[in-house]
């Protein structure tokens, strides 16, 4: 008698685990229109506006930013990029993130000014692997190479700074540690520290 309920519980648990694993976005997707394989994180990394900026703006709602690395593989020709989305939730608006010098990464070894890539969806892609979180936000793709990805993964500090619509800077801090996710991305893309 006791085995039957345990058996049913095991079957139900197995079905639930199988269903939940299907809901997770794959780390690699083939864009059939372009023949490009896109490697990405299951979810982009989330950043929140620093408390200092939010206090200055008397924020009614929080501002968020998102960052996700991408690998594009088009028949063996591999390139990388960073997808960034910013969704301001208060009066401290950021400027056009696609303009030169508008976005800076703060790492342990110093700031890195990001350079925008051409095209709304990255090089040769029919659509992007990450989806904008807010319709009023801005999304853009930025240059990334293996060295920069490794620096980001190894850095204890990873912050996003955006130029504001005035002369200010709007700073965003990660809501969770970023190193493990970036290291795992590099590992799944066969990028090693050698």
* Residue linked to tokens 């900026």: 53
For the chain, the distance separating the N- and C-terminal CA atoms, rounded to the nearest angstrom, is 58
pLDDT in tens, the chain (194 residues): 444 444 333 333 343 333 333 333 447 888 777 788 899 999 999 999 986 544 444 444 578 999 999 999 988 899 999 999 999 876 567 899 999 999 999 999 999 999 999 765 566 555 678 988 888 899 999 999 999 999 999 999 999 999 988 888 999 999 999 999 999 999 888 887 65
The DSSP code for 62 is: -
The fold of 27-188 is Immunoglobulin-like (2.60.40)
pLDDT of residue 183: 92
Residue 187 burial by CB count (10 A; 0-12/13-18/19+): exposed, middle or buried? exposed
Torsion sign, CA atoms 183, 188, 191, 194: positive
> pTM for the whole thing?
0.78
pLDDT of residue 179: 92
The dihedrals phi and psi of 70, each to the nearest 5 degrees, come to -140, 140
User: Contact, 191 vs 148, CB < 8 A?
Assistant: no
In the chain, at which residue ranges do the beta strands (DSSP E only) sit?
Answer: 28-31, 36-40, 45-49, 64-74, 77-87, 103-107, 110-113, 138-144, 158-163, 169-174
Candidates 76, 48, 71, 59; CA nearest to 160 is 48
User: Contact, 102 vs 138, CB < 8 A?
Assistant: no
CA 99, CA 140: separation in Å to the nearest integer? 10
């Amino acid at each position: 008698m006791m085995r039957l309920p345990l058996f049913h519980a095991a079957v139900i648990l197995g079905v639930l685990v199988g269903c939940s694993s299907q809901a997770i976005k794959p780390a690699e997707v083939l864009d059939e229109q372009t023949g490009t394989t896109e490697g990405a994180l299951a979810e982009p990394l989330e950043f929140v506006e620093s408390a200092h900026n939010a206090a200055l703006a008397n924020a009614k709602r929080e501002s968020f930013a998102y960052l996700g690395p991408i690998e594009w593989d088009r028949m063996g020709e591999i390139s990388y990029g960073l997808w960034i989305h910013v969704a301001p939730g208060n009066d401290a608006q950021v400027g056009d993130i696609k303009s030169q010098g508008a976005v800076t990464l703060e790492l342990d070894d110093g700031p890195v000014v990001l350079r925008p890539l051409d095209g709304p969806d990255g090089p040769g892609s029919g659509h992007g692997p990450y989806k904008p979180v807010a319709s009023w936000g801005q999304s853009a793709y930025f240059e990334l190479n293996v060295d920069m990805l490794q620096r980001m993964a190894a850095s204890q500090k990873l912050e996003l700074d955006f130029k504001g619509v005035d002369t200010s800077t709007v700073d965003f801090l990660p809501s969770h540690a970023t190193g493990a996710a970036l290291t795992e991305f590099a590992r799944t893309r066969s990028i090693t520290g050698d």
